[in-house]
């Protein structure tokens, strides 16, 4: 990546690489942490590992504003922090560089995007948040390089943000596979609504689809065939008058 905000942030973190044991009671979780879901089973496994081997990778903290009561904000490492509490530990190894709010946001977003099991829409929102945070530094190409993905992969994820709310909810609820979501996201909002209902032909509305825990979508092949037949080849829905004489002369 070219010289910019993220490279500067990494330099700041590396510059203060001294590891210290910080009491857990002095650490507050960050309100800007993008991670919102924690697998309790996985946390218990990590806690058991920490009981046996300790915390092998330090967490990243920063001093709270005005050094309030000698407390620290947890920037990166929320799973290690929570698992350490489950394991009954009193302290955790940490590095504590001075970081701005922007640097904290960048580090949290990138760390969140590099972990496994992130939801596709959360991944897309993370990429978009990076672009909004620093448009000049975070292009599709630089994000792809940072998260070890192809530019086409990152671009595809960003397209998911075009989904209408009902389709996003169906995707988050695992009713739609990411392949369904990609096909639907390319359509206009009105056609997305039609396509979503076509995915679940036994349901008459998006509300019924979202309410039914057993709702099962048609195959992606069937969805794409319907889109080709009913939308791409349907001149009645074209954004122009198919009877336009000027159009017919061309």
> Apex CA 231: angle with CA 168 and CA 186, to 5°?
35
**Whole-number percent of the chain with pLDDT over 90:** 50
Phi-psi region of 224 (alpha: psi -120 to 50; beta: other; left: phi over 0): alpha
Query: How far are the Cα atoms of 170, 171, 174, 176 from residue 210, in angstroms, in the given order?
Result: 6, 10, 10, 11
Does the structure show a pLDDT above 90 at 160?
Answer: yes
Mean pLDDT computed over 63-87: 87
Q: Which residues of 193-213 are buried (b: 16+ CB within 10 A; e: fewer)?
A: bbbbbbbbeebeebeebbeee
Mean pLDDT computed over 62-75: 80
Mean pLDDT of the chain: 85
> Apex CA 162: angle with CA 158 and CA 168, to 5°?
95
Model confidence over 205-224: pLDDT tens digits? 888 888 888 889 999 999 99
Distance CA(169)–CA(165), nearest Å, equals 6
Mean pLDDT computed over 82-107: 92
Question: What's the pLDDT score for residue 7?
Answer: 53
């Amino acid at each position: 990546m070219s010289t910019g905000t993220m490279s500067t942030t990494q330099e700041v973190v590396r510059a203060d690489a001294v590891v210290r044991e910080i009491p857990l009671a002095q650490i507050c979780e960050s309100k800007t942490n993008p991670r919102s879901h924690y697998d309790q089973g996985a946390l218990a496994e990590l806690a058991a590992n920490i009981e046996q081997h300790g915390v092998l990778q330090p967490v990243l903290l920063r001093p709270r504003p005005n050094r309030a009561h000698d407390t620290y904000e947890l920037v990166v490492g929320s799973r290690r922090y929570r698992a350490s509490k489950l394991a009954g530990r009193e302290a955790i190894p940490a590095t504590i560089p001075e970081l701005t709010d922007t640097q904290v946001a960048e580090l949290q977003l990138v760390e969140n995007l590099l972990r496994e099991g992130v939801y596709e829409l959360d991944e897309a929102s993370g990429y978009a948040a990076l672009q909004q945070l620093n448009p000049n530094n975070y292009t599709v190409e630089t994000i792809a390089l940072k998260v070890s993905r192809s530019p086409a992969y990152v671009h595809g994820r960003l397209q998911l943000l075009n989904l209408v709310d009902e389709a996003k909810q169906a995707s988050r609820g695992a009713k739609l596979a990411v392949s369904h979501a990609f096909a639907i996201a390319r359509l206009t909002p009105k056609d997305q609504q039609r396509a979503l209902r076509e995915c679940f032909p036994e349901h008459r509305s998006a509300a019924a689809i979202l309410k039914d825990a057993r709702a099962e979508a048609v195959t992606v092949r069937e969805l794409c065939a319907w889109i080709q037949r009913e939308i791409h080849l349907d001149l009645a829905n074209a954004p122009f008058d198919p009877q336009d004489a000027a159009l017919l002369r061309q």
